[in-house]
Copies of this chain bind each other. A is one copy, B any other.
Amino acid sequence: MENQIDGRALILACSAIGAGLAMIAGIGPGIGQGYAAGKGAEAVGRQPEAQSDVVRTMLLGAAVAETTGIYGLIVAIILLFANPLISTYMNLIG
């Protein structure tokens, strides 16, 4: 019986794909925060006396840019550790 592909296996298999796809969101924060880091370094090099203000602004902006990467991570973790789709299926097949 277990040596056949069943519905449960299909859902869990596609959840692995879905979790991987969700992580692609990380491209964005990686690029954006890297740009912010570069501009921050540039600004500090030009006005070293403003370093703390520049760094604070850079980190605040980078924290905002992180959010969509976190969303992707949360969706991946839900798919991996608390998969609601397989629960729905198990309820449906009784």
Residues of A within 8 A of B (CB): 1-48, 50-51, 53-55, 57-62, 64-69, 71-73, 75-76, 78-81, 83-86, 88-90, 92-93
Contact = CB atoms under 8 A, between A and B. Distances in A.
Contact of A55 (B12, B25, B57): B57
Contacts of A28: 26-32, 34, 68
Contact of A33 (B3, B6, B34, B43): B34
Given A42-B43, A71-B72, A65 B33 contact: yes
A26 B68 contact: yes
Given A36-B38, A71-B73, A86-B92, 18 more contacts: A6-B7, A7-B9, A9-B89, A17-B21, A19-B22, A27-B68, A30-B30, A30-B66, A30-B68, A32-B35, A36-B64, A40-B57, A41-B57, A44-B45, A58-B61, A62-B64, A62-B65, A67-B69
